[in-house]
Amino acid sequence: MKTLKRNPIHFLLVFALALISAAPRPAANTQSLDTTPPDQVVKLIFIHHSTGENWLTDGYGDLGRTLDQNNYFVSDTNYGWGPDSIGDRTDIPNWTEWFSSGETERYMQALLGENGQHSSYTRSLSDPGGENEIILFKSCFPNSALEGSPDDPADPEGWLTVGHAKYVYNEILGYFANRPDKLFVVITAPPLSDPTYAANARAFNEWLMHDWLSEYPLSNVVVFDFYTVLTGRGHHHRIENGQIEHTFSPGANTLVYPSGDDHPSEEGSRKATEEFVPLLNYYYQRWKADAAPGPIQLEPNPPAEPAQTDAPTAQPGTSGLIAAFEAGESAWEAYHDEATPGTMTCQPEAGAGRSGASLLLDFNISANSWGTCAMFFEAPQDWSAAQGLAFYFRSAQAGLLFDLDLYAGPPENRETYLYTIEAPAESVSAWTRMELRWSDFHRASWEENADAPFDKASQVMGLAFGFGTLPDAPNIGSLRVDDVTLLGSAPVAAPPSDQPTQPPAATPEDAGTPRRPLLPCGSGALAPLFLFGAVLWTRKKRDDNIGKYP
């Protein structure tokens, strides 16, 4: 099985520089996320019905007992609870009644002061007094029968539809922004066994995970993807190897942990507990560290515009969709070194994407050569309001290496900035989300000012996915890419002086496979040798290929 490698010019030089640099530029935030429990008892309340009750119950899901062991004093609501029996109403459309209505303050006063149990779980901790600090809320599995279409925009009309569900969550975000002193945890509705509306449920929960909070400036709202955890034994939303992992197999959108009906089984519920509690600890520690100074006022959330397909002349807004690769698009074009017998193709493939088409890249790159799949714009694109780019990918094999390239300037004076990605093992079987900040991109090693940081987000002329080789070794394989978007415009904290910019810790919307380093750590004693060889190789190949790269 061949391992795909990037252009040796770029690959070896970056490897050498990384080894000898005192402050290397890693591909990911390598610091493990803090999953330690709170150091004092924290009050938490969970709004739920039967699935949540099972999840909390000792000997079933064990969530209540596990939270107790992690220093959370747990209370909950159920049918019949609260003013006007508001506890009866936990469908998605009911959340506006809880969090965005004329009765919200009355309901919240009761909720934040609640300290009773409505399910059977261990509470060994004493009530520390005061209000509940953490609010978990979840709709039950009928809410995964969302009608409409996966890409429907937010719609104030309707009931259990994709569009109305988006509208509801946009509406309640205003209350959460006004309460930075509370941590709100959205638990996605569990899946159904019936596949009728499964694709809609997946699309909506992906929207919650990656789009809903993309421009929200506080850390007091998070999402736990209960739905994904229950749709496959290899599906996860958890902390793994010190980073957030959110992964699933496309098309696997129904319940795989049944209990005779659509209530998740003990196995599924316990799996959710194991994955959720460390995530909650991390979200809590991050929220406390951020310490927002006070409430903020959000602009009213207009209904979302329908998703647009990519076009060379489009000017995507912040967090906008750049390319969805629907069948029939021709904006992307393959290039390769025509002096070699290798091949490079890229074209939309219907039915192979996350919810439609994706871009299929097939490559057979001859030794010491290159290939790219690029899209160019007729006019410069100003993406400076965004933080970077995000996309999903699936690879033919683990360890596959490819670049995401950015182009700035006219063809006669084009500048290339790139970032190399190593495909993790899970990307072979599931769509993997990759997020890159502008600071991750650096000038191509074969151009002037090699490794200079990318500073032309207001002058983007194109982007590409690129492949190269190590000396005397061909690259043969395939890659699928989908949903290339701009990241949100929330400000990123400045790094300490004299240190390279690093990507921030993963957030809920960032949830996905961590970015990987370009190469594993190696012996520093080898750096001078690699650097010398890389410089010679770079000079030769750059001279040989001037004007050939797209």
Q: How many CB atoms lie within 10 A of CB 165?
A: 30
Mutual angle of helices 198-210 and 162-177, in 10-degree steps: 20
Per-residue CA distances from 97 to 89, 100, 108, 194 (Å)? 9, 6, 11, 29
Closest to 168 measured CA to CA, from 306, 301, 321 = 301
Are the C-beta atoms of residues 420 and 401 closer than 8 Å to each other?
Answer: yes
Distance CA 110, CA 81 (A): 10
- Report the Cα 49 to chain-centroid distance in Å: 29
Question: Given this model, what pLDDT does residue 299 score?
Answer: 63
pLDDT value for 12:
35
Contact criterion met (CB below 8 Å) for 51 and 527: no
pLDDT at 368: 84
Three-state SS string across 6-52, please? CCHHHHHHHHHHHHHCCCCCCCCCCCCCCCCCCCCCEEEEEECCHHH
The per-residue pLDDT for 292 is: 65
Token pair belonging to 467: 């492949």
- As separate numbers, helices (DSSP H) first and strands (DSSP E) second, the chain gives 10, 19
- HEC string for 414-462: CEEEEEEEECCHHHHCCEEEEEEEHHHCEECCCCCCCCCECCCCCCEEE
Could you tell me the sign of the dihedral formed by the alpha carbons of 148, 149, 154, 155, in that order?
A: negative
The three-state (H, E, C) secondary structure of 195-206, written as one string: CCCHHHHHHHHH
Q: Give the CA distances from residue 69 to residues 55, 63, 72, in Å, rounded to whole numbers and listed in that order.
A: 15, 10, 7
Residue with the two structure tokens 């076009």: 311
Query: H/E element holding 138?
Result: strand 134-138
Alpha-carbon distance of 418 to 445, in angstroms, equals: 9
Of 463, 487, 521, 498, the residue nearest 214 (C-alpha): 487
Residue 240 neighbours by CB under 8 Å, 6+ apart: none
Q: Walk me through the domains of the chain, giving residue ranges and CATH numbers.
A: 8-20+308-494+522-545 (2.60.120.430), 42-290 (3.40.50)
**Residue 356 confidence (pLDDT):** 73
- Note the pLDDT of residue 354: 77
Distances from the Cα of 50 to the Cα of 80, 118, 190, 327, angstroms: 13, 11, 12, 42
Residues of the chain with pLDDT under 70: 1-30, 292-293, 297, 299-319, 326-330, 355, 488-550
Task: Quickly tell me which residue has 């159920």 as its tokens.
Answer: 78
Q: pLDDT for 221-242, tens place per residue? A: 999 999 999 999 999 999 999 9
Q: What pLDDT score was predicted for residue 507?
A: 33
CB of 374 closer than 8 Å to CB of 346: no
pLDDT at res. 19: 34
Tell me if 484 sits within 8 A of 322, measured CB to CB. Answer: yes
- E strand intervals along 243-369: 243-247, 321-323, 333-336, 343-349, 358-365
Q: For position 426, what pLDDT does the model report?
A: 84
List the beta bridge partners of residue 186.
137, 223
Polymer length of the chain: 550
List the beta bridge partners of residue 345.
Answer: 362
Residues whose CB is less than 8 angstroms from the CB of residue 536 and which lie 6 or more positions away in sequence, other chains included: none
